[in-house]
Amino acid sequence: MATFTVLDLLSLDLKEHNALELRCIGGRPGLTREIRIPDLNRPGLALGGFYDKFGFDRIQIFGRGETSYLIKLAAEGKTETIEQLFTRDVPCTIFTHGQEPTDDFRRIAEGSGCPILQTELATSEFSSRLIRALSNVFAPHETIHGTLAEVFGIGVLILGDSGVGKSEAALELIERGHRLVADDAVEIRCVSGNILQGAGANKALGHHMEIRGLGIINITHLFGVGAIRDSKQIQMIVELELWDSNKTYDRIGAEEVTRDILGVRVPYLQIPVKPGRNVPIIIETAAMNERLKKMGYFSAREFNQSVLKWLESEHARNAYFQNRDMFHRETEESGQESDE
């Protein structure tokens, strides 16, 4: 991935329950320092002089306990452990609860070129938000040519060759009350190891759509903010392709097909396109069917089981009647022999 610096951390556009509320209160020349590891460290043991296994390459979080210990060191005139801390290439230090570093700490940190950040958030809340943010930044990602929409709560990634009708299908879905996430270029990130989160590769252009013969349209202006969302988990992939009369298409769907993206298997459907087929309604139905599968109801497999039960019952019924007829014939024959 590209270099991620402390300045990039300050510039993250996070809102509401994800906001970090960070500001720089010292060591501004060090804002270009690179953050290489998406993890945090509480340097309590290091301040006490124990530097074995010290995670110096992580962001250092100073909560109330660490700050109180800094005040104690300042009162005793001890700065050795602080000086030893900044002999390492620490990315940055962050003080939570709106706390201020001591003068000694500020002097030593700025002398080493290490930036000092501050947040009003509590340590536990800030740590969880920061870990989420760093996990997203450092997550494996790739950009795919396609359209991402939310259909009945299911994130549907629509793929296909250029001109096959991806944007037109998405436009009809929006008209029917569903929401657009991104068109043309979808950036996909693998979060938490098994969740694919999709968003527009370019935030400034993400909610615009190109319709051949019409040009570029702004979905937000045409349909309102209720017709868009910034990101969505990808839960199904639909690939549109021109109808090939020589190809055999799945007509039952008993076997679930998946496609691998960034090591995650996602349910995958191929939908042939030809005049007369209402592709948006097919995508809607596929999304509803996927929701049923997540609830434990697999229509195609249930249909197969019903057919098998019917065949088994029909076979048993035929076998019963055949055996009964054979029994009656044998009884009649034995009766005739005894009469003779």
Q: What's 57's domain CATH number?
A: 3.40.1390.20
Is the distance from CB of 88 to CB of 58 less than 8 angstroms?
no
CA distance 123 to 95: 8
Is residue 31 located within the same domain as residue 130? yes
- Is 145 catalytic? The answer is yes
User: Rounded to whole angstroms, what are the CA distances from 85 to 56, 164, 233, 271?
Assistant: 8, 59, 41, 60
Name the residue with tokens 């270009």: 32
- Comparing 34 with 252, the larger pLDDT belongs to 34
Is 216 among the domain residues? yes
Which of 27, 23, 59 has its CA nearest to residue 41? 59
- Domain boundary (137, 170, 203) is at 137
Task: Work out the angle at residue 224's Cα, subtended by the Cα atoms of residues 222 and 226, and round it to the nearest 5 degrees.
Answer: 140
User: To which H or E segment does residue 310 belong?
Assistant: helix 299-339
- Domain boundary (83, 117, 137) is at 137
Is 232 among the domain residues? yes
pLDDT higher than threshold 90 for residue 202? no
Is 171 among the domain residues? yes
Say which amino acid occupies 327.
Answer: F
pLDDT digits (tens, 9 = 90+) for 64-116: 999 999 999 999 988 899 999 999 899 999 999 999 999 999 999 999 999 99
Show the domain range for 202: 141-294
Is 1 among the domain residues? no
Is residue 171 located within the same domain as residue 316? no
- The tokens describing 333, both together, are 């024959």
- The tokens describing 216, both together, are 């570029």
Angle between helix 103-111 and helix 64-76 axes, rounded to 10 deg: 100
The torsion region of residue 213 among left (phi > 0), alpha (psi -120 to 50) and beta comes to left
- Domain boundary (103, 137, 171) is at 137
CA distance 145 to 84: 50
Is residue 130 located within the same domain as residue 169? no
pLDDT digits (tens, 9 = 90+) for 227-248: 999 899 999 999 998 887 777 7
pLDDT at 299: 60
Is residue 152 located within the same domain as residue 128? no
pLDDT at 326: 62
Q: Quick one: average pLDDT of 13-25?
A: 91
User: Rounded to whole angstroms, what are the CA distances from 61 to 133, 163, 193?
Assistant: 15, 51, 25
Name the residue with tokens 């501050």: 118
The whole-model pTM stands at 0.71
Is the distance from CB of 219 to CB of 228 less than 8 angstroms?
yes
Is residue 241 located within the same domain as residue 310? no
- The tokens describing 239, both together, are 């690939």
Catalytic residue among 58, 129, 166, 208: 166
Catalytic residue among 36, 145, 277, 315: 145
Number of domains in the chain: 3
Is 108 among the domain residues? yes
Is residue 281 located within the same domain as residue 150? yes
The CATH number of whichever domain residue 213 belongs to comes to 3.40.50.300
CA distance 261 to 318: 50
User: To which H or E segment does residue 212 belong?
Assistant: none
Is 150 among the domain residues? yes
Is residue 251 located within the same domain as residue 329? no
Is residue 81 located within the same domain as residue 159? no
- The tokens describing 256, both together, are 């679930």
Environment class of residue 240 by beta-carbon count within 10 Å: exposed (0-12), middle (13-18) or buried (19+)? buried
Is 39 among the domain residues? yes
Say which amino acid occupies 15.
Answer: K
pLDDT digits (tens, 9 = 90+) for 275-297: 888 899 999 988 888 888 877 76
Is the distance from CB of 97 to CB of 76 less than 8 angstroms?
no
Is residue 182 located within the same domain as residue 124? no
Catalytic residue among 15, 17, 53, 251: 251
Is residue 303 located within the same domain as residue 268? no
Is residue 89 located within the same domain as residue 120? yes
- Is 251 catalytic? The answer is yes
pLDDT higher than threshold 80 for residue 15? yes
Is residue 265 located within the same domain as residue 209? yes
- The tokens describing 279, both together, are 């592709």
